[in-house]
Structure 1
Amino acid sequence: MAKVIVVGAGPAGIMAALSASKNNDVTLIERNNEIGKKLKLTGGGRCNITNNRSIEEIFDKVVSNKKFLYSAFYTFSNTDLLDYFTENNLEYKVEYDEKVFTKSDKSEEVIQLFNNDLIKNNVKILYNTKVDDLIIENGEIKGVITNYGKNIYADKVIITTGGKSHPLTGSDGSMFEIIRGVGHTINPLYAALIPLVIKEMFVKNLQGVAMKEVVFKVKIKKKKIEITGDMIFTHFGISGPGVLKLSSHINKVLENEEVEITLDFLSDKSREEISNIIKSNPNKTIFNNLKGLLTQNFLKEILGALDLLETKPTDLKKEDEIKIIDFIKEMKLTVRETLTIKAAMVTSGGVSVKEINASTMESKIIKNLYFAGEVIDVDAETGGYNLQIAFSTGYLSGCDY
């Protein structure tokens, strides 16, 4: 029976350990005193375990290196994952945007399930243990060196230590230097699924205003990107599910330049329809005619900025009407930067996929060294897709070939 070491007990590491345990003696090394510490945070603590879309649609939600994930997704799909949970008596539900949550809204249920399954499959877990180096001989991995100075030998090592976001959960990026030290390329790390800092000062006056089903448009080089989702204005800019999705598409560009985005707050209404609503009751103010369509605080701010809060349609100049509709249908905002990577839900960047065999997750540089999850340069939009990447790559990396 071969010996396998898995480094990192997040979703990728847990699934790698379970997959490998079918035919091997598995040791799972975790620097915290519990497994799945970051997993607990997903879905606002409710655990957004995956997404219920078809696997083909899930590929469309991958932002970086989607082709690399073909084998992983088809070897262990979202359907396979949900079947696994069902077999282990975990009840789940599908919500808006096909997001899958535990029926109880408790991430602890998922953690407990994994704990029980790891025990059942005789996976040995070393808690409060950090890997300080890898043991490499003649281009082949032989084991790891822990922070206690102990050498642990194995026939196969799987690295699943995550990225650099949420460092307090253990994914502080320290493993990247070790991986780089054995010859792997680490692509630049960026904050992904992260709130955006806006240049225009007026957004501060909208702090706390939440907007539904906003359409975000941006042009990156020649590529047009369109994202729909909810958002909220903050003291520094904008946040919310739609903004987090958008951030993963523009984070790399923001390193060198600002990015202009366009927001449509009423995508189901044409400019002409909004014009008609503005003029619908000449005896009411423009504000009163529009307030059934949009949040009142939002309307007060944009109409106040244009000095039109008390104006009636009969007194409205055409150029001012155009300005109102521009604010609603084509608000232009300049993104200066993202918040720091510590605040990101996901890290973009990591071990270059060019140096990993996509069919097995094995390193092309070091024999019997494998990678899975966020440590690899793959990431997706928010909605359970990044967890599915972790589970799929983790499962594939633990398989025997």
Structure 2
Amino acid sequence: MTYDVIVIGGGTSGMMAAVSAAENGANTLLIEKNKKLGKKLLLTGGGRCNVTNNREPEDIIQHIPGNGKFLYSAFSQFDNHQIMAFFEENGVSLKEEDHGRMFPVSDRSKSIVECLQTKMLELGVTIQQADPVKRLLIEDQRIVGVQLDSGDRQIAPCVIVSTGGRTYQQTGSTGDGYRFAKKAGHTVTPLFPTEAPLLSKESFIQNKTLQGLALQDIKLSVLNTKNKEIVSHEMDMLFTHFGISGPAALRCSMFVNKELEARESVTLVLDALPNKSQAQLVSEFAQRRAESEQKSIKNALKNMLPERYLDFLISQTEIDSSATIKSLNEKDRDQLIDLMKAFPIEINGTWPIEKSFVTGGGISLKEINPKSMESKLVSGLFFTGEVLDVNGYTGGYNITAAFVTGHVAGKHAAEIASYYNY
């Protein structure tokens, strides 16, 4: 069978690519190896689907630390506000939550998947499920179609590879796109987990001293070998039985993995009170001392930090927590304040790629045209979404990149395919 555009992968970027290609007049085939479309999309945002983010497009790109600048041209054609408009126009009302995150009002990922599915059927997209693509068909550096596992060949002048990364492998993200890309002559940069919980061998982690403790609005920083800050995030975090997790830790993971390429452990520094300076804390200690000099140190400092964390920090010093605050000397006070502002945690690794939220690395962007997502090596071959060497923070940024690259690839593929119909 002959089509104008074939899309491989029925996930976030694949479905949007098929919609975009069909909207631009292309006879489109979507091939999905699973029995259902949007398997990973159904899991995102805790099953509610954080569909995009309501920040300004420039700000969205800032939240895609893995080569976000590559997306400027694509965003000038289709951005997060157009993603929101697309769903609203197609019957899915969205609502905004903290940090600009957008969700369907229904709180169900299914609403998003069904919307894309309905739109594809309206536009006459042919959907072929449970039949994986075996290989790309390329002749003289030009795509001509695909061969399926079943042996069937589907012919088209344009093929869009939207197969996802290597995370959530139970959804079918097993790295097929990287294999197709390499066979086509593309470079695939090393893959690594991002947005991944962090692992630590620190004794207080191994002993589960702080397991289950959540800290709000802290600052977590990643240090280089010279103890200089590489990146820091002010968000919430959670101590676990294996290390640390929560938004701040997840956002540091990409930088941790980069550092771990050259050494065995990376130091993170936790500032539990980022809105207070050392000097402000010294004066707060003095005030509490004046107000309740006969109280124990632990009770006098109550409510400065969660009790469990405060007890832990005191235990890391030579202070006797039952002693009165009046007896606290300057040296011990300064040591405690230092720990409140900069508690070091050695990190030895992250969760593996299969258990992480996002894949870092991917098809080298030097070999992709940023305006169209078309390969610079094989005419008519396009790549979108997580298969590219682009990765963002959680909060709707990766899905935004997937929708944007999918839409742009679909539009340009339809345009190129139209030349073959004359």
Q: State the TM bucket, normalised to the shorter chain.
A: over 0.9
**Correspondence 1:7 to 2:8:** yes
1:347-393 Cα deviation digits (max 9, x unpaired):
00110000011111000111100000000000111211111000000
When structure 1 is superposed on structure 2, of 222-231 and 143-152 the one drifting more is 222-231
CA contact (8 A) 1:20 1:399 kept: yes
Task: Give the alignment's TM-score, normalised by structure 2.
Answer: 0.91
CA contact (8 A) 2:212 2:239 kept: yes
Q: Distance in 2 between matches of 1:399 and 1:190?
A: 30
RMSD across aligned positions (CA): 1.7
Match of 2:185 in 1: 183
Q: Distance in 1 between matches of 2:315 and 2:30?
A: 59
CA contact (8 A) 2:221 2:229 kept: no
Residues paired across the two proteins, number: 401
Match of 1:358 in 2: 370
Among candidates 82, 85, 90, match of residue 83 of structure 1: 85
CA contact (8 A) 2:5 2:157 kept: yes
Among candidates 338, 341, 344, match of residue 326 of structure 1: 338
When structure 1 is superposed on structure 2, of 170-179 and 182-191 the one drifting more is 170-179
Name the amino acid aligned to 1:48. N
1:307-350 Cα deviation digits (max 9, x unpaired):
53323212223222222212211011111111111111100011
**Correspondence 1:254 to 2:265:** no
Among candidates 295, 302, 309, match of residue 298 of structure 1: 309
CA contact (8 A) 2:222 2:255 kept: no
CA contact (8 A) 2:372 2:408 kept: yes
Match of 2:132 in 1: 130
Q: Distance in 2 between matches of 1:149 and 1:168?
A: 24
**Correspondence 1:386 to 2:398:** yes
Match of 2:420 in 1: none
Match of 2:232 in 1: 226
SS of the residue 1:350 aligns to: coil
Q: Distance in 2 between matches of 1:290 and 1:31?
A: 58
Match of 1:349 in 2: 361
Q: Distance in 1 between matches of 2:253 and 2:239?
A: 15
Among candidates 10, 31, 43, match of residue 29 of structure 1: 31
Distance 1:291 1:101, change over 3 A: farther
CA contact (8 A) 1:64 1:380 kept: yes
Q: Distance in 1 between matches of 2:3 and 2:133?
A: 20
Q: Distance in 1 between matches of 2:333 and 2:151?
A: 71
SS of the residue 1:40 aligns to: helix
Among candidates 286, 294, 297, match of residue 283 of structure 1: 294
SS of the residue 2:190 aligns to: strand
Task: Give the alignment's TM-score, normalised by structure 1.
Answer: 0.96
In the alignment, structure 1 segments of 5+ residues that lack a partner are none
Alpha-carbon shift at residue 61 of structure 1 (Å): 1.1
**Correspondence 1:147 to 2:149:** yes
Q: Distance in 1 between matches of 2:152 and 2:7?
A: 16
1:275-325 Cα deviation digits (max 9, x unpaired):
344450212222223331221221222223435332321222322222221
Which structure features the higher share of strand residues? 1
When structure 1 is superposed on structure 2, of 262-271 and 14-23 the one drifting more is 262-271
Among candidates 368, 372, 377, match of residue 389 of structure 2: 377
CA contact (8 A) 1:4 1:26 kept: yes
Correspondences of 1:205-244 after superposition (within 5 Å): 205-220=209-224, 224-244=230-250
SS of the residue 2:120 aligns to: helix
1:132-189 Cα deviation digits (max 9, x unpaired):
1111111111111111121111111000001111111111113312321220100000
Match of 2:419 in 1: none
CA contact (8 A) 2:364 2:389 kept: yes
Alpha-carbon shift at residue 272 of structure 1 (Å): 3.0
SS of the residue 1:364 aligns to: coil
Name the amino acid aligned to 2:9. G
Name the amino acid aligned to 2:325. P
Give percent identity, aligned residues only.
Answer: 39
Alpha-carbon shift at residue 80 of structure 1 (Å): 0.4
**Correspondence 1:308 to 2:320:** yes
